[in-house]
Amino acid sequence: VSALSVSAKAANRASGVPWLAMAGWLALFAALAGAPAVLDQYFVEIGFKFLVFCVLAEAWNLMAGYCGLVSLGVSSFFGLGGYVAVGLLNNTGLALAPALAVAALWAAGMAAIVSRALFRLRGLYFTVGTLALSEALRLFVINAPFFGGATGLVLRGDPPDAAALLRDATVAFALATLVMTAATRSRFAVLLSAVRDDEDAAAQVGVRAFRIKLAVFAAASALVATVGGLQAVKLGAIEPYGSFGLQWSVDALTVVVIGGIGMRLGALVGAGFVIALGELLADYPEAHNAINGVILVVLIRFAPRGLCGLIADLARNLRRPRGEKSA
Amino acid sequence: VTLAPAAPRVAGLLVCGCAMPSLEVIASTLVSGVLLGGMLGLTALGLSIVLGVMRLVNLAHGGFLVVGAYAGFVLLARTGIDPLIGLPLIGLGMGLVGYPLYRLLLAPFAGKGPEASLMTMFGVSIIVENLLVLGFSADTRSIDRAYATTALTVGPISMPQIYVIGFCISVVVILAVHGLIAHTAFGRDLRASADDPGAAAVVGVDLARVHALTFALGAAAAGVGGTLMGVAFSFTPSTGPSYLLNDFAIIVMGGLGNVLGTLVGGIVIGVLQSLGGLTLGDGYRDLVGLVLFLIVLTFRPQGFLRGRVG
């Protein structure tokens, strides 16, 4: 993991209240919550997509960047969230928020169930196992008789308007930020990096690696399911190919690797970059995906800490007095 | 866009989940499963030797197989050469692409942990899939050959002719690769690098060269296997991941890096899939393999057969 990870500096910085960072986050959420009132429809749509990517990426970064769980099973929980949310909205009188909460809990429970099998797999094999899980879930949903097969389910009743959805997505992102802050600026952060860097050594000194990984996996899955449910409600219909499609896992990984894996702002920066590039190339979605792949390959090779890492290095070099060469 | 491989295009073999299939149907299913399994074994060969020799999970392997299928498609459409005649050409071409690909993208990560190479190959798979969509559109393609759609009947048993051809070619290729690894100087270096890279380097094995050649060999095998699958089944640019997952199931059954084991694993998966399709319905074919894969990984991650190169 060493090539792609940063040291546990976060834990050392945890002392003292980071007023500036808190003010920054609050300003961001206020701006996002107020945005639908002033922006036109196009930017509200983009904002929703941006926030969905942010939450997916925060969840993936928590797993891969901070805990070493490189998952390609994001789409399992994204699809699960969508199906649970639509099922509840259609068949019970539940409102959107509680339906999403149940979907999140459901996903966390599902994560706990599959963790027994998946956590026996280390490193690469875990990645392959998560990929198999999402494909197995998709095939199950297509073939089992009660999910509407390959056509999927249609949301009864009207979906909420775009502005309301943007506010809901902002709340989801705020929750993701809370989870990330709790996980990366507390004693838990030290446990996380111990498990990530050497699980066996961590276990030797008394860290309960299985529980740490399970906590991270369940929290990340709950976040993913929440936005999965939101996306399903936004579309008004779900079908297994889109909901359980590998593309959601691809997006999460791409955003984080571009933004900076294991960097606190990696998800935000990466999501901004990927969404902006996607809009520039909106008429050529395949070219956009291929370019994302090229950027991915180049960044992993030359800037393993992504755009955030590049910016941090640049800032450090500028601050350094002239004549002193950077290492 | 579907990830699942299309059903066989051979009429008369798509058996629905009838209450009690006749004995002939069961026998035909078993024979077809064994024959298809041999082809599946060849598709997993490249993934297996690359994983066995350099501990690299090539997430672009499914993409390589799909490229093989499109190579056969283009070869037939442009030159009229039968894809089965062109197999050596396609294998050679894929090997020539694989070698510099390894040198350029993966060699820098040698000895630096597996994540970077894993994600790099994931990036490559995204690039390959989208370039194929740009070049050929996302439409389903198939290679039109008469032998791909006729059935062969031996007594009461009927099987697709292409399964028989594909099985024979696959067994020949797998045995050839086994011979290469077991009996040549390159094979000796390869086995040494897989067993103990440090010791191999000390006695003068050029690890970087062996790894690049192994990767090229894996890509060549994927090209040949992919062409065979392309002749037998229809395909789209996004068929890769389902090929890849099938192949993972095969190599955990056969043992990582075990060349002859991929043939055994392929046959096991082929038979189980065919039986699963017969008893549960055709949609469950791939689910059977995946569930089996997850179960085997959970209880016996090293595979059923001995996981060793050679």
Q: From the candidates B109, B297, B299, which should be mutated to test the interface with A, based on the most A CB atoms within 10 A?
A: B297
B60 interfacial to chain A (CB closer than 8 Å): no
Q: What is the tens place of the pLDDT at every residue in A147-160?
A: 888 888 888 888 88
The dihedral over CA atoms of B226, B227, B231, B232, expressed in degrees to the nearest 10, equals -30
3-state secondary structure of A8: coil
Neighbours of A185 (CB within 10 A): 17
Question: For A248-265, what is each residue's pLDDT tens digit?
Answer: 998 999 999 999 998 989
Residue A13 predicted with pLDDT over 80: no
With CB atoms and an 8 Å threshold, state whether B293 touches A132. yes
What is the least distance, in Å, from the CA of A73 to any CA of chain B? Answer: 13
Tokens of B299: 């209880």
Residue A316 in tokens: 């450090």
CB burial of B124-154 (b: ≥16 within 10 Å; e: otherwise) equals: bbbbbbbbbbeeeeeeebbbebeebbebbee
Residue of A115, A198, A294, A301 best to disrupt the B interface, most CBs of B under 10 A: A301
The DSSP secondary structure of B199-233, one letter per residue, reads HHHHTT--HHHHHHHHHHHHHHHHHHHHHHHHHHS
- CB of A124 within 8 Å of any CB in chain B? yes
3-state secondary structure of B160: strand
**Above pLDDT 70, what percent of chain A?**
93
CA dist A48 to A25, A54, A275, B174, Å? 18, 10, 11, 51
Quickly tell me which residue has 């990330």 as its tokens: A180
The Cα diameter of chain A in Å comes to: 71
User: For residue A149, what are its two tokens?
Assistant: 């097969």
Q: What type of residue sits at position A238?
A: I
Residues 131-160 of B with CB under 8 A from A: 131, 133-134
Whether A179 has a pLDDT exceeding 60, the answer reads yes
Strands A237-238 and B151-154: unpaired
Closest CA to A53 of A262, A251, A245: A251
Question: Of A2, A116, A292, which is closest to B126 when you measure between CB atoms?
Answer: A292
Bridge partner residues of B159 (DSSP): B152
Give the separation between CA B295 and CA A118, rounded to whole angstroms.
10
Whether B104 and chain A come into contact, CB under 8 Å, resolves to no
- From the candidates B130, B246, B269, B286, which should be mutated to test the interface with A, based on the most A CB atoms within 10 A? B130
Residue A215: the pLDDT is 94
Contact B249, B289 (CB under 8 A): yes
- Tokens for A233, please give them: 């409600």
For the segment A49-65, the average pLDDT, to the nearest whole number, is: 94
Written as six digits, the tokens of A278 are 């996607």
Tell me whether residues A293 and B124 touch, CB distance under 8 A.
yes
Question: CA-to-CA distance for B155 and B195, rounded, in angstroms?
Answer: 48
Which residues of chain A are within 8 Å of residue B108 when distances are taken between CB atoms?
Answer: 301
CB contact (8 A) between residue A139 and residue B4: yes
Residues 28-87 on A with a CB inside 8 Å of B are 70, 72
The token pair at B309 is 């190169």
Cβ-Cβ contacts under 8 Å for A277 (sequence gap 6 or more): A288, A291, A292
Tally of CB atoms within 10 A around A179: 19
Terminal Cα distance for chain A, rounded: 21
pLDDT, residue A294, reads: 94
Place of tokens 């299985």: A210
- Using the Cβ of A303 and the Cβ atoms of chain B, whether some distance falls under 8 Å is answered with no
| Residue of A76, A130, A143 to mutate, testing the B interface (most B Cβ within 10 Å of its Cβ) | A143
Q: Which residues pair with B152 in a beta bridge?
A: B159
Q: Does the beta carbon of B248 lie under 8 angstroms from any beta carbon of chain A? A: yes
The answer to whether A3 contacts B112, with C-beta atoms less than 8 Å apart, is: yes
**Cβ-proximal residues to B245 (8 Å cutoff; 6+ apart), any chain:** A131, A132, A135, B62, B286, B289, B290, B293
Q: Which of A121, A135, A287 sits opposite B297 (nearest CB)?
A: A121
> For B257, which DSSP code?
T
Q: How far does CA B166 lie from the centroid of its chain? A: 12
Inform me whether the C-beta atom of residue B122 falls under 8 Å from chain A C-beta atoms.
yes
CA angle B242, B78, B81 (to 5 degrees): 85
Q: What is the pLDDT of residue B168?
A: 95
CA distances, A181 to each of A69, A92, A213, B38 (Å): 18, 34, 17, 52
Contacts of B133 in chain A (CB under 8 A): 286
pLDDT of residue A321: 65
Q: Which residue of A2, A71, A297 to mutate against B (max B Cβ within 10 Å)?
A: A297
Task: Please state, as a whole number, how many other Cβ atoms lie within 10 Å of the Cβ of residue B35.
Answer: 26
State the DSSP H helix or E strand holding residue A227, giving kind and residue range, or none if neither: helix A209-235
Nearest residue of A to residue B239, measured between CA atoms: A246
Q: Give B-chain residues touching A74 at CB under 8 angstroms.
A: none
3-state secondary structure A92-129: CCCCHHHHHHHHHHHHHHHHHHHHHHHCCCCCHHHHHH
What string of pLDDT tens digits covers the 310 residues of chain B?
333 444 444 444 444 444 567 888 888 889 999 999 999 999 999 999 998 888 888 999 999 999 999 999 999 999 989 999 999 999 999 999 999 999 999 999 887 777 888 889 999 999 999 999 999 988 999 998 888 888 888 888 888 899 999 999 999 999 999 999 999 999 999 999 988 888 999 998 999 999 999 999 999 999 999 999 999 999 999 899 888 988 988 988 888 788 999 999 999 999 998 888 888 877 777 788 788 777 777 776 555 555 555 4
Give me the residues paired with residue A153 across strands.
A238
Determine whether the interchain pair B241/A135 forms a contact, defined as Cβ–Cβ distance below 8 Å: yes
Looking at the predicted structure, is the pLDDT value of residue A223 above 90? yes
Classify residue A250 as exposed, middle or buried by CB count within 10 Å of its CB (0-12, 13-18, 19+): buried
Q: Map residue B82 onto helix, strand or coil.
A: coil
Q: Do A117 and B298 touch (CB under 8 A)?
A: yes
A–B CB contacts, 8 A cutoff, strictly below? 131
CA B252-B94-B106 angle, to 5 degrees, is 65
Residue A273 · residue A307 · CB < 8 Å: yes
- B215 versus A26: the higher-pLDDT residue is B215
Tokens representing B206 are: 């050029």
Burial B67-80 (b: 16+ CB within 10 A, else e): bbbbbbbbbbeeee
Give the sign of the dihedral formed by CA B211, CA B132, CA B141, CA B146: negative
Does the pTM of the predicted model rise above 0.90? no
Residue A323, pLDDT > 70, answer: no
Q: Which residues of A touch B112 (CB under 8 A)?
A: 2-3
User: Which chain A residues have a beta carbon less than 8 Å from that of B140?
Assistant: none
Distance CA B10, CA A155 (A): 39
Sign of the dihedral through C-alpha A9, A18, A252, A313: negative
User: Which of A36-50, A272-286, B277-291 is the most confident on average?
Assistant: A272-286
- State whether ipTM is beyond 0.90: no
Is the CB of residue B130 less than 8 Å from the CB of residue A293?
A: yes
Chain B residues inside the 8 Å CB shell of A120:
297-298, 301
**C-alpha dihedral sign at A69, A70, A72, A74:** positive
Six-digit token pair at A242? 């889109």
- Residue A93 in contact with residue A212, Cβ under 8 Å? no
Of A247, A111, A142, A258, give the one whose Cα is nearest residue B241: A247
Q: List residues bridging with B154 in a β-sheet.
A: B157
Q: How far apart are CA B75 and CA B86, in angstroms?
A: 8
